Structure 1
Amino acid sequence: MNGEARQAVDMFLEYMRGEKWASCHTVANYGRDLARLQKFCSDSRLSEWRFLQNADIRLYVADRHKSGIAAKSIRRELAAIRSFFGFLLKKQLVEQNPALAVRAPKVGKKLPKTLDVDQVAGMLNAGTDSVLEIRDLAMFELFYSSGLRLSELAMLDVADLSLSDGYLRIRHGKGGKQRQVPVGSKAIKAIQLWLACRPECASPALFVSARGARLGQRGIQQRLDRWCRKNGLSERIHPHMLRHSFASHLLESSQDIRAVQELLGHADVSTTQIYTHLDFQHLSDVYDKAHPRARRSKRE
């Protein structure tokens, strides 16, 4: 493609950074996606963006799909292309957005892994042997108690807690959204034990390292891995399994999907609905094991 076409991509990425406040991760992904589209255009002898038609985008998507690229990745690439051409339309550099009517391959819903109630109890009822383990148990109790994302837990400050009222404030939710969530009695007790021995430090963070610095997401994951190994848990547990377990157990007991949506901080209830599928799968497993006309013989 010609120099003006490449310059248009640079202008778009700068627009995403400066005016849309897109994260560095998002901007980098968009840059890679558009670089692939530029190569496709060069191979197809398309020198300017205005020459791209709907059929060209369809062919590009089909090529990506044939190359074995996951449907989820193709959907993201297509979203980047649509945004880019939307930008070009505003700048009057093109006359149409050729990606608008192009459909991406369907993404199959992958059910999240969860722990059952007994597994969670076994994990959280293990004793602590050090100040750092007191901190770790408070983190894990809070994960399961309030259904937090890993990033939300890492960004919590002491000032975000209102233990006397039994809730905490999440200021750094997905998409910059804030919300309040309740904190269960066992999590409150675990946090109080941690606060009683939390080292004095300048950091406002709720969970800090032995040196007084905020504990990051990677550090939390490592501590969870260590906790599981120490307590003989054979299955590898990642932080979001506790969030998924919170959602599944709450939905199974309450059947109130809107309330679970609010607690999880989902913008769209369709995101929360995956846990209804998870609940049905559990019921189906129980049925297959328990119903006398459902069980299959070993020979089958």
Structure 2
Amino acid sequence: MVLTEARDLFLNDRETYCSDKTVKNYRNNLRYFFDFVSDRLQKDPSQISLEEIEKLDINQYSIYLKNKIRNDNNPNFKAKEPRKISARTRKDYLKDMKCFWMFCIENGYCQVNPSEHLKLPKAYGRMVEPLTVDEVNIIDSCYSINSTYGCRNLAMIHCLLDAGMRPGEVVRLKIQDLHFSEGYFVIHFSKGGKSRIVPMGRTVKKYLQYWLEKRPDCSHEYVFCVENGDPLTGNALKCVIDRLKISSGIIRLFPYLLRHTFGTSFCLGGGNLEILRLYMGHSSIETTQGYLHLADNLRFCNNIYHLDPIFFVKAY
């Protein structure tokens, strides 16, 4: 079997249970490997059989990624100082490649897995400093609650900050997912296709109610929209945060920093780690434990953004 045929079968298999975004990542990450092998063997991937790929090819690909410059295949990208791709990105590329070979072995498309003994690079994440109370006050002051889209932006930002949502979950949030009287969100079709319930604090509730009063008439049920009434997109949300980074002067600001602040603040407030895992939609408690580690390093700091007390009271 040739590489392209095996790739198509692999992607078709993943489409049955992975999100479109995950399948797209598999396709893009495998493309780097296929391009490398094609150059190395001087053949088109449609002419390279699985049996032709050897352990040496895999090792050379790993070395190539170790020295790969970011965006070196984008002629429109101009960097002042060329930087290599991060260890985390390199690890993602290699993990997806190993996953492809495991699929081929499991389905009998080849007899030997050339990537079996490949060691993945260690990717040490850099510490993400959560937002302080003062910084959140600066962020809020960048928008007027009397402005329609100032109201919208405040509501979006506090969905990330006060409910720990992922950017994609904010984009997909629908009006029927907001339960104001009961005081919670229902977040559907999260990462991994799971759904969860998250308490709705007073601040985010206030901004959401203001926004829904000003929200233009739309032909859809999504909470957030752009100026012409179309549903908000992930790129539109990113642009809002990029502009906010400039207007607030908080250069380290990015969408996931708001979610990270939620997780760290929950741990600092004494919240239960398993409950935080459920609120954030993590499939593994190991992911959630990273927030506990960060919170332990920040015990001395009392200026980290505080979550609504609703997260720390008993139900009855």
TM-score using structure 2 length = 0.77
Deviations 1:221-280 (A, max 9, x none): 3334445655xx211332222111111111111152222221111111222222233224
Q: What residue is the counterpart of 1:11 in the other structure?
A: 8
Q: Check whether the contact 1:111–1:274 (CA below 8 A) recurs between aligned residues.
A: no
Q: Is residue 256 from structure 1 mapped to residue 272 from structure 2 by the alignment?
A: yes
Q: Check whether the contact 2:7–2:100 (CA below 8 A) recurs between aligned residues.
A: no
Q: Is residue 170 from structure 1 mapped to residue 171 from structure 2 by the alignment?
A: no
Report SS of the residue matched to 1:254.
coil
Q: Is residue 62 from structure 1 mapped to residue 59 from structure 2 by the alignment?
A: no
Structure ID, larger Rg:
1
Distance 1:277 1:35, change over 3 A: same
2:200 to 179, 183, 202: 183
Q: Match for 1:139: what amino acid?
A: M
Give the Cα–Cα distance (whole angstroms) in 1 for the partners of residues 244 and 64 of structure 2.
45
Shift in Å, 1:156:
0.5
- After TM superposition, list the pairs within 5 Å mapping 1:102-113 onto structure 2: 102-113=118-129
Q: Match for 2:61: what amino acid?
A: Y
Q: Match for 1:135: what amino acid?
A: R
Q: What residue is the counterpart of 1:289 in the other structure?
A: none
Q: How many residues align?
A: 280
Structure 2: any 5+ residue segments left out of the alignment? Answer: 69-83, 303-316
Give aligned-pair identity as a percent: 24
Q: Check whether the contact 1:16–1:27 (CA below 8 A) recurs between aligned residues.
A: no
Deviations 1:153-197 (A, max 9, x none): 011010111111110111131122211111101211221122222
Shift in Å, 1:66:
4.7
Q: Match for 1:108: what amino acid?
A: Y
Q: What residue is the counterpart of 1:97 in the other structure?
A: 113
Report the RMSD for the aligned CA atoms in angstroms: 2.9
Q: Check whether the contact 1:117–1:249 (CA below 8 A) recurs between aligned residues.
A: no
Give the Cα–Cα distance (whole angstroms) in 2 for the partners of residues 226 and 57 of structure 1.
42
Report SS of the residue matched to 1:96.
coil
More moved, 220-229 vs 140-149: 220-229
Report SS of the residue matched to 1:114.
coil
Q: What residue is the counterpart of 1:211 in the other structure?
A: 228
Structure 1: any 5+ residue segments left out of the alignment? Answer: 287-300
More moved, 14-23 vs 242-251: 14-23
